[in-house]
Amino acid sequence: MKVLEERIRKEGLILSDTVLKVDSFLNHQVDTGLALQTGREFKEVFGHLPVTKILTVEASGIQFAMAAGIAFSVPFIYAKKKKAVTLSEDVYSAPVHSFTRGEDYQISISQKYLGPEDKVLIVDDFLATGAALVGLADIVEQSGAQLLGVGCVIEKSFQEGRSLLEKRGIAVHALARISSMAPGEVHFIANEELIKESAGC
Amino acid sequence: MKVLEERIRKEGLILSDTVLKVDSFLNHQVDTGLALQTGREFKEVFGHLPVTKILTVEASGIQFAMAAGIAFSVPFIYAKKKKAVTLSEDVYSAPVHSFTRGEDYQISISQKYLGPEDKVLIVDDFLATGAALVGLADIVEQSGAQLLGVGCVIEKSFQEGRSLLEKRGIAVHALARISSMAPGEVHFIANEELIKESAGC
């Protein structure tokens, strides 16, 4: 997604070779039009699949799940992050380790909103270590729903997230794929072809 | 907003005379079409005002701020919730007491994204005690921006949030105003007229 790569070049704040801040237009202040456009892009890629629900995790996935929900005309669910989930709650949950914050938390969704009849597209802002996305994939598995793919806005391709997901047979698409970065410079991978043939798992 | 009142009647889970859960369609699983419609409703009410930014707080305000951002064609900002804000950060912040969780936290936004040139509409899912919304209003004040109004999806009119805001001269509009509720029943206040005349402060 060229316009996204341009915005990252212009407005992204690269603090180190792993830390990129995009909070002027994606995940603190949000360019509403650009967010909407990410939804249309995900529709381009996954639109041939019978998606019934979009799944993301709070908070910074919500605007992109909303955009995808609009493009697909389906509801979205955002998993909650908590320090701990009590066993009494009727939730699907998965542990996630945040490398950024050096802490563990649980993500969970109510069992009421996902079941074997659902076909799910997971959407999030970043794909890096893949920790949160693998947790979301676990939740889909627990629910018995079918996972049709993962769509991310920005991928740090030099981290292991994509390979963790692809090893599980999950189709992954990222709108901007960063191959390397350092303060003052960022390099992108030319995006893959539409993954219509391989999507679905 | 009739369709919203109907959904609350049908799908809202009233756990006590103060606790209403709407997580099947508003703030866990989200009916994308309904969320979009809330944005159009806020545009109906506040659309004559020169709004430059929508402001909300993570996480459950995001989908409604996004909807309002779409309707107004402006960016939105979501304040972050933290236990504590370090003084070194260049943020506007305000303390908030959560009555639901019995804890205090800070909400904050980067100083980069709000300034005296901005005209702000605050949007959130619930107006009850008003704690988070008063905090957001404080943040707007710190930034020197002009606060044009507050739009909420659901108001618990039997709590003091609205009067706290109106005392400060802030125009408030809620799409569904609950006058009272108890398990199995909910009563709404017929909504006010469009507040075009009084909006702006």
Instruction: Please give the pLDDT value at position A196.
Output: 44
Q: Which residue has the tokens 């892009």?
A: A41
Instruction: Check if the beta carbon of residue A79 is closer than 8 Å to that of residue A114.
Output: no
Residue to test with chain B: of A13, A23, A24, A29, most B Cβ within 10 A: A29
A38 at B interface, C-beta within 8 A: no
A194 at B interface, C-beta within 8 A: no
In a domain, A91, yes or no: yes
pLDDT in tens, chain B (201 residues): 999 999 999 999 999 999 999 999 999 999 999 999 999 999 999 999 999 999 999 999 999 999 999 999 999 999 999 987 776 679 999 999 987 778 899 999 999 999 999 999 999 999 999 999 999 999 999 999 999 999 999 999 999 999 999 999 999 999 999 999 999 999 999 865 444 444 443
CA distance B157 to A106: 34
Which residues form the domain of B113?
36-179
B11 at A interface, C-beta within 8 A: no
Instruction: Please give the pLDDT value at position B89.
Output: 74
Q: Is the pLDDT of residue A127 over 50?
A: yes
A100 at B interface, C-beta within 8 A: no
- Average of per-residue pLDDT values in chain B: 93
Distances (CA, A) of B184 to A77, B9, B10, B17, B159: 26, 9, 10, 10, 20
Task: Assign A102 a pLDDT band (cuts: 50, 70, 90).
Answer: confident
Instruction: Please give the pLDDT value at position A105.
Output: 93
Q: Is the pLDDT of residue A199 over 60?
A: no
Q: Please, what sign has the CA dihedral across residues B139, B78, A26, B71? A: negative
**Which of A121, A127, A118, A91 has the alpha carbon at shortest distance from A106?**
A91
CA distance B71 to B74: 8
Please tell me the total count of domains within chain A. Answer: 1
Q: Is the pLDDT of residue A194 over 60?
A: no
Q: What pLDDT digit, counting tens, does each position of A30-77 carry?
A: 999 999 999 999 999 999 999 999 999 999 999 999 999 999 999 999
**Chain A hits for B89, Cβ within 8 Å:** none
CA distance A69 to B75: 19
CA distance B142 to chain A (A): 17
Length of chain A: 201
Q: Is the pLDDT of residue A100 over 90?
A: no
Task: Assign A103 a pLDDT band (cuts: 50, 70, 90).
Answer: confident
CA closest to A110 among chain B residues? B28
In a domain, A196, yes or no: no
Instruction: Please give the pLDDT value at position A180.
Output: 96
**Chain A hits for B62, Cβ within 8 Å:** 59, 62-63, 66
A76 at B interface, C-beta within 8 A: yes
In a domain, B13, yes or no: no
Instruction: Check if the beta carbon of residue A129 is closer than 8 Å to that of residue A157.
Output: no
Q: What pLDDT digit, counting tens, does each position of B157-177 carry?
A: 999 999 999 999 999 999 999
Sort B85 into a burial class: Cβ within 10 Å, 0-12 / 13-18 / 19+.
middle
Amino acid sitting at position A60: S
Q: β-strands B91-98, A91-98: how paired?
A: unpaired
Amino acid sitting at position B23: D
Length of chain B: 201
Three-class DSSP category at B169: coil
Of A18-32, A184-198, B42-56, the one with minimum mean pLDDT is A184-198
CA distance B130 to B136: 10
CB contact under 8 A, B30 and A113: no
Q: Is the pLDDT of residue A25 over 70?
A: yes
CB contact under 8 A, A59 and B63: no
CATH code of B92's domain: 3.40.50.2020
Backbone phi, psi, residue B76, to 5°: -125, 160
Task: Assign A191 a pLDDT band (cuts: 50, 70, 90).
Answer: low
Residue B80: which region, alpha, beta or left (left: phi > 0; alpha: psi -120 to 50)? beta
A33 at B interface, C-beta within 8 A: yes
